[in-house]
Chain A
Amino acid sequence: MNTRRDFLKKAAGLSALGALGVTPLPSLAAGGYYTIPLKKPLKVGFVYIDPVGNIGWSYQHELGRRYMDKKLAGLVESTYVENVSDARVEGVLRQLVDTGHQLIFTTSFSYMNPTLKVARMYPQVIFEQATGFKLAPNMGNYNGRFYEPQYLTGLVAGAMTKSNKIGFILPFPIPEVYRVVDAFTIGLHEVNPKASVSTVWVNTWYDPAKEREAAQTLVASGVDVIATHTDSPAPMQVAEAHGIYAIAQDSNQIKYGPRAQLTGVIDHWGPYYVETARRVLEGHWRAEATWGGLKSGMVELAPLNPAIPQEVVDLVNTRKAQIEAGSFEIFKGPLYGQDGALKVPAGKALDDKTLLGLQWFVKGVQGKAS
């Protein structure tokens, strides 16, 4: 918290500094900082993959944008473009550059290559791309360790399930999805080794009808907790309607499942946006890969349902504190693959590089890993 307050002080002093960072050309300054000839106020653009709505992935980024606007009022001026499909994004980025935006956040993995292409063409603009892995001198990337809170939700699900069957709705077979399902299952088995996870691929990030159908299929197969890595509130609503539990994704969904929501994973981008814009304003920005976990506040655990027994709440809080302190490894051996083969021997843990390319399910996850 201290750093955040410090920086606000600095931000307040910025406007007084006036002609700050006015170099004629973008350049690599001392300390590897990438500076651009700034115009004031700094125009910041955001590109969202789906409509903002009032819940979900893009909504959380929009909350972050508004947070940044408030914290840096007078220093930045921001705008967003929503519902931008992958094939359209390059054109939208060019439009943002043409209209004077100097810091642009692109918030979908699928925007990575177009962002890189446009970043190379416009060295006087700084780009930040969410959930990808490529970097350029004027392009950084950032992502949340969603698997950390998802491991904690697994602990809760393991304690609350009676049928020992959990359903997980999955968008696309990418490493992020394997990570959250595996972390969830590791948490689940820590509390309840008999429980298993049934998976349904819906091949979409957001489609209320498909997600509802998937949730209903899972309910029919006997699951009593539903988790999802998709964005609509449909799974939560289905859980509420059937009197079972669900884990919220991206946003707090308590209004869709006042009784059903056990807990959830919440994305919290605001502080990162403030920090990044501040660095650009101060000439202290450089292209970096940021992967923020519970400790950074970029991902959070949603409030715990009052129905959860106190000893489980205590366990969750202990593990959360350990993860934040760096004294607990979620992906530590022994870990077994779906077929029972040993994947990570005891005494070892998966490092970040392996996690970034993770492509397999742990034992206890049912359904094909494709």
Chain B
Amino acid sequence: MSPVLERRPQSSTVMRVIAPVIAALAATLITLVLLALSGKAPMEGFYALFLAPLATPSGWAQVLVKSAPLALIGAGLVVAFRARVWNIGAQGQYIAGAVAGSVLVIYRPEITGGWVLPVILLLGAVGGMVYAAVPAWLAIRFNANVILSTLMLDYVALAGLHYLTFGPWRNPANFGFPGSVSFPASASLPLLWPGTQVDLGVLLAFFAPLLVWGLLRFSLFGYQVRVSLSEAASVYAGFSRARMVWQSLLLSGGLAGLAGILQVAGPIGQLQTDISSDLGFAGIIVAYLAQLNPLGVMPAALLVGLFYVGSANAQITLGLSAALGELLQGILLLALLAANVLVHYRLRWRQA
């Protein structure tokens, strides 16, 4: 007897709901065993990693702050991946947004006025879109592979950010240390929850999955995206593939760019070399955890955000090493993604 995966004629609605539960249980079990093997009290470790952050209001605030950019990036990637446009370049688009949105502050640090913040956010979104337009153009004009071009452009963006923060955009009053001037109040997102880092950006970010859901559900564009799942169907319907590549890259790039500037004008407060651009990759995980469903993006982002906060918490309260915390979270993510396979496939035992 050997196990085989057999495609279901129809994806299973039951499994769609219980797959995450199975995964969570399996991962919990593995986590407890690993914690015990590493000499930590399993239940305490589990509590510190996954539950303690949710036990206090400030913990919730932290989780919300960490999840917000993931929700934005993830919502955009859901559209791209549904349209079979493999945008792996959210990291680069996030950086492009952070950089483009910072231009105004760098060159006119004295600006004030209510128009400043909206313009900065707009610049950020446009920066992400422009950066995503490059692989779109390459794909349409030269049939370049989107996976490769978006991924490679990530490194170009990182190098560019390095150059700017160490070079021309360096704060001259900083003794030659890297990083731009701090964003003035007029260019910073207002706090919504005093005493925490929860600002307007968090609210905006959590609107994005809802907007994307509405877009996919009610617009012609959304219909085209849904049809794009099958190449034959979309050719038959007469939809332009080029248009789909353009639109989905611009949308996902724009949202990633917005996420970038929301971090810089929000919790981080300046353009610096490290702006958590690896969130661009975590956004891919969020999109798949959400089963490419915009409404699933919010819980998926919250879960990954919880991981970030829980990992630090376990180090503080239990002395759990950063590596072990990340390992356990990786196991949970892997289990969740693996369980998603059961939505479309069933496990059968076949005679060897």
**Which residues of chain A have a CB within 8 Å of any CB of chain B?**
45, 51-52, 79-88, 90-92, 94-96, 98-99, 109-110, 113, 117, 121, 133, 172-175, 203, 356-359, 370
Contact = CB atoms under 8 A, between A and B. Distances in A.
Contacts of B167: 370
Contacts of A51: 321-323
Nearest to A89: B274
Interface stretch (B71-79, B116-124, B309-317): B309-317
The 3 closest A-B pairs by CB, nearest first: A87-B276, A86-B274, A83-B322
Contacts, number: 95
Contacts of A80: 315, 319
Interface of B: 56, 58-59, 62, 65-66, 162, 166-167, 175-179, 182, 195-197, 263, 267-270, 272-276, 308-309, 312-313, 315-317, 319, 321-323
B273 to A, nearest CB: 7
Q: What secondary structure prevails in chain A residues at the interface with B?
A: mixed
B176 A174 contact: yes
B321 A91 contact: no
Contacts of B273: 86, 110
Given A357-B175, A359-B176, A95 B166 contact: no
Given A82-B321, A99-B317, A109-B177, A91 B274 contact: no
25 contacts: A51-B323, A79-B317, A82-B322, A85-B276, A86-B272, A87-B263, A87-B274, A87-B275, A87-B276, A90-B267, A91-B197, A91-B309, A94-B58, A95-B62, A95-B312, A98-B56, A110-B179, A110-B273, A113-B270, A172-B166, A174-B177, A175-B175, A359-B176, A370-B166, A370-B167
Contact of A82 (B56, B66, B270, B315): B315
Q: Which of A95, A98, A113 is most buried by chain B, counting CB atoms within 10 A of its CB?
A: A95
Q: Which of B58, B272, B308, B316 is most buried by chain A, counting CB atoms within 10 A of its CB?
A: B316
Nearest to A356: B175
A322 B316 CA distance: 43
Contact of B58 (A79, A98, A172): A98
Nearest to B326: A83
Contacts of B65: 91
A133 B179 CA distance: 15
A117 B65 CA distance: 16
Nearest to B308: A88
B176 A175 contact: yes
Nearest to B277: A87
A172 B313 contact: no
A45 B316 contact: yes
Nearest to A97: B58
B187 to A, nearest CB: 16
B57 to A, nearest CB: 10
A79 B320 CA distance: 10
B299 to A, nearest CB: 21
A348 B149 CA distance: 55
A357 B176 contact: yes
A108 to B, nearest CB: 10
Nearest to B268: A87
B267 to A, nearest CB: 6
A113 B313 CA distance: 22
Contacts of B177: 109, 174-175
Contacts of A357: 175-176
A98 B275 CA distance: 24
Contacts of A110: 178-179, 272-274
Contact of B316 (A52, A79, A88, A370): A79
